[in-house]
A and B are shown apart, each in its own frame.
Chain A
């Protein structure tokens, strides 16, 4: 018994170390963003909001933030509508080639980011989509679609299709059935998918790096160039903003899913 007690203590100590390794590095950008110095010194010797002032006033940072927010909102709308429609049509239906369609909907998740980036870059060059809002929206929608279909499909799996038939048998048109029966019941899944879509677009770096132009950059791309080319502590403020937005939304998405499962 004593031996297993000792083993337990070792395991717990190990767990704490691993946990610290997972959590602490992420949090370190927060104090640095409130530092009063022009370097990445940690712990900071003085405190100020100067990096946030720079982030929200200097045009190169502010523009990239606004570009990212606008793109993420459009991508969320497009991907959520298209993904929900697709999941709705596919769930519970069997037809020839369904495996291929399912696979295609999931493919952007499995294909490595760099492969997607190079393929889109080569194609977008020919189509004149490099550095255009349309190019970004198309690329991010492709990457966000799987998250919407996964979440909506999961929600539909726990949904009684009989209710739709009941509604139809009472004379409701398909659209009425969807609006007043199906959608309210799968809403948590759609919402989770939408949140994932937003964060996918807001956080995406690799593809955005390839299809960007000097005049149209997303915030992660601006951050990437800041790390490679400059020693600008404003990136600490940018990181903190991105961290708060993406963590809050993904936490919300996970909670939405969990509540649905519990219900």
Chain B
């Protein structure tokens, strides 16, 4: 019991125990704490916050001061097309991920504990493996005489152009994103009380009705969390669309890269980056809000995979 008693009863005095040692100790600890955080904060402020603010500044000062770079996003045909294409692509990838992740996560909940471990390990493979290695693998798989096309020919569909097309990019991107949906959906499903479905069945509901009216609504927080994460990650995805897709169908991140590297248009790139960042923060804020009450731990770790994309 002594351990859980208020801290004031625990002797905190130093060996000498002279003038108010508890106070002095606490003071020293606080200063020590500040000293310990300082190096990390300095690195983050100098190499992350300052560059971000500089970019924001450039977006409203280069080439002229004002919000011209921002209005250009919605008035310039090329920029607008790319922004809309990126949004459309993100929606398609999200839908594909949800359609695959939901049954997969459900399978995890009904599998035996050994198979559940296998299914979980399989989902974690894309998390664990190098993004560059995987993207190169997709380039090889999707090429005209690649494995996917051999398979398609074998089952009689014939040659399909995949590398450099939206279909190919969707296939590769959805594979990268799938774990970000499976994990939160599975976490939510695991918390659903099966007896509620049994109760609906015993009251005469057909299995489909019981699923649609009881199980599905209860699993929606996980679905929302996963879907939003995939949206966020897809919007800023650079590596896979650049290598699997084509420059003619480029997405927002590639467009930003072209603005910087080829056109040296820091203002325009900055405005696009700021817009992407704001969209991301709004969506992430939405996830946090939607999952706050459910306490889905999976969200935090899922976001942890995002920066590398």
A and B: interacting chains:
yes
Give A contacts to B, CB under 8 Å.
Answer: 3-4, 8, 11-12, 14-15, 18-19, 21-23, 25-26, 28-29, 32, 40-42, 82-83, 85-86, 88-90, 93, 95, 101, 104-105, 107-124, 126, 138-139, 141-143, 145-147, 149-150, 162, 165, 168-169, 171, 174, 200, 203-206, 210, 220, 223-224, 227-228, 235-236, 239-240, 242-243, 246-247, 250-251, 254
Supply 24 A–B pairs (Cβ within 8 Å), ascending by A. A15-B119, A22-B122, A23-B122, A25-B137, A41-B145, A42-B140, A82-B43, A86-B39, A89-B33, A89-B37, A104-B45, A105-B44, A107-B48, A108-B307, A112-B236, A114-B276, A119-B48, A119-B273, A168-B14, A169-B12, A204-B308, A205-B131, A228-B242, A246-B133
CB <8 Å contact, B126 and A22: yes
| Chain B, residue nearest A111 (CB) | B277
Within the complex, the shortest CB–CB distance from B271 to chain A, in Å, comes to 11
- Chain B residues 121 to 150 lying within 8 A of chain A, measured CB to CB, are 122-141, 143, 145-147
- Which chain B residues lie closer than 8 Å to A246 at the CB level? 128-130, 133
CB <8 Å contact, B260 and A210: yes
CB <8 Å contact, B308 and A141: no
Interface presence of B25 (CB below 8 A): yes
Within the complex, the shortest CB–CB distance from B134 to chain A, in Å, comes to 5
**Alpha-carbon distance A15/B116, docked complex (angstroms):** 11
**Alpha-carbon distance A202/B269, docked complex (angstroms):** 27
- Which chain A residues lie closer than 8 Å to B173 at the CB level? none
- Which chain A residues lie closer than 8 Å to B49 at the CB level? 104
CB <8 Å contact, A109 and B107: no
**Alpha-carbon distance A8/B300, docked complex (angstroms):** 31
CB <8 Å contact, B147 and A28: yes
CB <8 Å contact, B133 and A243: yes
Interface size class of B (residues with CB under 8 A): 35 or more
Interface presence of B88 (CB below 8 A): no
**Alpha-carbon distance A86/B127, docked complex (angstroms):** 26
CB <8 Å contact, B207 and A25: no
**Alpha-carbon distance A170/B139, docked complex (angstroms):** 62
**Alpha-carbon distance A88/B32, docked complex (angstroms):** 10
Which of B30, B41, B50, B175 meets A104, CB within 8 Å? B41
Known: A42-B140, A105-B44. Contact between A122 and B128, CB under 8 A? no
CB <8 Å contact, A206 and B104: no
- Chain B residues 49 to 76 lying within 8 A of chain A, measured CB to CB, are 49-52, 54-55, 58
Interface presence of B162 (CB below 8 A): no
Which of B50, B122, B134 meets A123, CB within 8 Å? B50
Give B contacts to A, CB under 8 Å.
Answer: 3, 7, 10-15, 25, 29-30, 32-37, 39-41, 43-52, 54-55, 58, 100, 103-104, 106-107, 110, 119, 122-141, 143, 145-147, 175, 178-179, 207, 232-233, 235-236, 238-239, 242-243, 252-253, 256-257, 260-261, 266, 269-270, 273, 276-277, 280-281, 284, 300, 303-304, 306-309
**Alpha-carbon distance A105/B58, docked complex (angstroms):** 24
CB <8 Å contact, B51 and A122: yes
| Chain A, residue nearest B150 (CB) | A42
Within the complex, the shortest CB–CB distance from A174 to chain B, in Å, comes to 6
Known: A112-B276, A118-B256, A123-B51. Contact between A206 and B309, CB under 8 A? yes
- Which chain A residues lie closer than 8 Å to B135 at the CB level? 227
Which of B14, B41, B136, B252 meets A235, CB within 8 Å? B136
Within the complex, the shortest CB–CB distance from A45 to chain B, in Å, comes to 13
**Alpha-carbon distance A88/B36, docked complex (angstroms):** 8
CB <8 Å contact, B48 and A40: no
Within the complex, the shortest CB–CB distance from A65 to chain B, in Å, comes to 13
CB <8 Å contact, A119 and B55: yes
| Chain B, residue nearest A15 (CB) | B107
Within the complex, the shortest CB–CB distance from A210 to chain B, in Å, comes to 7
CB <8 Å contact, B130 and A242: yes
Query: Which of A86, A105, A149, A162 is packed against the most chain B CB atoms within 10 Å?
Result: A86
CB <8 Å contact, A109 and B303: yes
| Chain B, residue nearest A125 (CB) | B266
